[in-house]
Amino acid sequence: MIINGVNMQPGAAEYPRNHWYVAAFSTEVTREPMHRALFGEHIVFYRTEEGDPVALFDRCPHRGMRLSNGGKLFGNMIQCHYHGIRFNESGRACLIPSGGTPTSALSVRSYPLKEIGGWIWIWAGEASQVDESLIPDHSDLGLTAPGFHAYFGLVLEANSNYLFSLENLVDATHISFLHHGLIDDGNVAAHPYICQQDGVRISMIREFKNETIAPMVARAMGLKSARADRTLELISYAPNTCVVRQHFVETGDASQNRRDSKLVFGITPTGPRSCIQFVAMANDYENTHPDIFDELRHLLMEDVVALDDIQNLFDQLGQDRAPEVAVRSDEGAIRTRRLIAAQVADERNLAVAAQ
């Protein structure tokens, strides 16, 4: 599917570069250099002595060693393990042990970062275009909302184009089949929905009355009764963030126990046909389930395995022989797709205007 000249066919979908993407959980970035490939680029992450996260292109310009491969920190500088050249947090070479003056040719790219509510966001595009207003509102995500508890649990790698993961998360209808019985009583797929849009925020909402709650959900939410009224809201923020929000009011319980839970996903392309799902949780109650993320991993891997298989077949057939036919319930996914296509097209128009 080509929209505004942008290839938005899941399997080969493009994404905007001038945007923020989740690069890591805060807890992953320490004084020990860490390698991660994002957007087809190798990046090394570490923290300064002051605790600020740093992201540099992970290749020493001298002889091409990965800075993360044995690199050590000296103050705020990282020292290449091969011949010991040191780079500061801006990527500028500051010291050549074998002699000579560092030149700008020895610098490595540094990536703008923003650390908010337990996530580290990275700007994938031109540093001159950085726009912090493009980061989703973390209070709306639940991660910094008053009264909410945030938990950071999973880094799931998928061998499929990022759009599969993103659209999968606004598609509730697969719950009744791919996850048969794990999340619902089989009635989500046929249940009516409403679709709302506010800027880049698309929301698919389904309301259930006196629904039988699946055991795994009851455990995860700490629900006491087997039935509840549930609001299931799947939200996407183009181009890369999703929230699965579940709001429960238990029935048959005099206390009318209420629970509001948000599973928050940052979807970051690692290449044209691969991505990482960063999964966090924000609840208006304290999680008491010790294995919540183990259960979630099992559930979410059902999606990853299915999406990787779809990608595999797409790659074998090629885009022309692997068309998609959308149905009505794909509304949230298609609207999200159009928003992302507009973001990519805008970026291209800017680049053309700047030439």
* Complex with Fe ion: residue 41 or 295, whichever CB lies closer: 295
Of residues 283 through 322, those in contact with Fe ion by CB under 5 A are: 303
* Complex with ligand FES: residue 97 or 186, whichever CB lies closer: 97
One-letter-per-residue 3-state SS of the chain: CEECCEECCCCCCCCCCCCEEEEEEHHHCCCCCEEEEECCEEEEEEECCCCCEEEEECCCCCCCCCCCCCCEEECCEEECCCCCCEECCCCCEEECCCCCCCCHHHCCCECCEEEECCEEEEECCCHHHCCHHHCCCHHHHCCCCCCCEEEEEEEEEECCCHHHHHHHCCCHHHHHCCCCCCCCCCCCCCCCCEEEEECCEEEEEEEEEEEECCHHHHHHHCCCCCEEEEEEEEEEECCCEEEEEEEEEECCCCCCCEEEEEEEEEEEEEECCEEEEEEEEEECCCCCCCCHHHHHHHHHHHHHHHHHHHHHHHHHHCHHHCCCCCCHHHHHHHHHHHHHHHHHHHHHHHHHHHC
* Complex with ligand FES: residue 68 or 329, whichever CB lies closer: 68
Q: Closest approach of Cβ 59 to Fe ion, in Å?
A: 36
Residues contacting Fe ion: total by CB under 5 A:
1
Q: Closest approach of Cβ 94 to ligand FES, in Å?
A: 12
Q: Closest approach of Cβ 260 to Fe ion, in Å?
A: 20
Q: Residue 303: name its binding partner from ligand FES, Fe ion, none (Cβ under 5 to 8 Å by kind).
A: Fe ion
Q: Residue 62: name its binding partner from ligand FES, Fe ion, none (Cβ under 5 to 8 Å by kind).
A: ligand FES
* Complex with Fe ion: residue 123 or 208, whichever CB lies closer: 208
**Region binding ligand FES by CB under 6 A among candidate stretches 25-33, 59-67, 152-160, 168-176:** 59-67
Residues contacting ligand FES: total by CB under 6 A:
9
Among 2, 75, 83, 224, binds ligand FES (CB under 6 A): 83
Among 12, 22, 23, 85, binds ligand FES (CB under 6 A): 85
Using left for φ > 0, alpha for ψ between -120 and 50, and beta otherwise, residue 203 falls in beta
The answer to whether 14 contacts Fe ion (rule: CB under 5 A) is no
For residue 193, which of 166, 175, 181, 180 has the smallest C-alpha distance?
A: 175
Which residues, in sequence order, are CB contacts of 106 under 8 Å at separation 6+? 61, 62, 85, 93, 96
Q: Closest approach of Cβ 109 to Fe ion, in Å?
A: 36
The answer to whether 74 contacts ligand FES (rule: CB under 6 A) is no
Q: Closest approach of Cβ 160 to Fe ion, in Å?
A: 13
The answer to whether 62 contacts ligand FES (rule: CB under 6 A) is yes
Q: 67 with 58: CB under 8 angstroms?
A: yes
For residue 242, which of 216, 285, 279, 271 has the smallest C-alpha distance?
A: 279
Among 82, 94, 257, 284, binds ligand FES (CB under 6 A): 82
The answer to whether 54 contacts ligand FES (rule: CB under 6 A) is no
Among 23, 29, 80, 166, binds ligand FES (CB under 6 A): 80
* Complex with ligand FES: residue 80 or 244, whichever CB lies closer: 80
Give the CA distances from residue 233 to residues 182, 193, 263, 275, in Å, rounded to whole numbers and listed in that order. 17, 9, 11, 24
**Region binding ligand FES by CB under 6 A among candidate stretches 4-12, 62-70, 289-297, 333-341:** 62-70
* Complex with ligand FES: residue 87 or 314, whichever CB lies closer: 87
The answer to whether 63 contacts ligand FES (rule: CB under 6 A) is yes
Q: Residue 60: name its binding partner from ligand FES, Fe ion, none (Cβ under 5 to 8 Å by kind).
A: ligand FES
Among 13, 22, 60, 183, binds ligand FES (CB under 6 A): 60
Interacting residue ranges for ligand FES, rule: CB under 6 A: 60, 62-63, 65, 80, 82-85
Interacting residue ranges for Fe ion, rule: CB under 5 A: 303
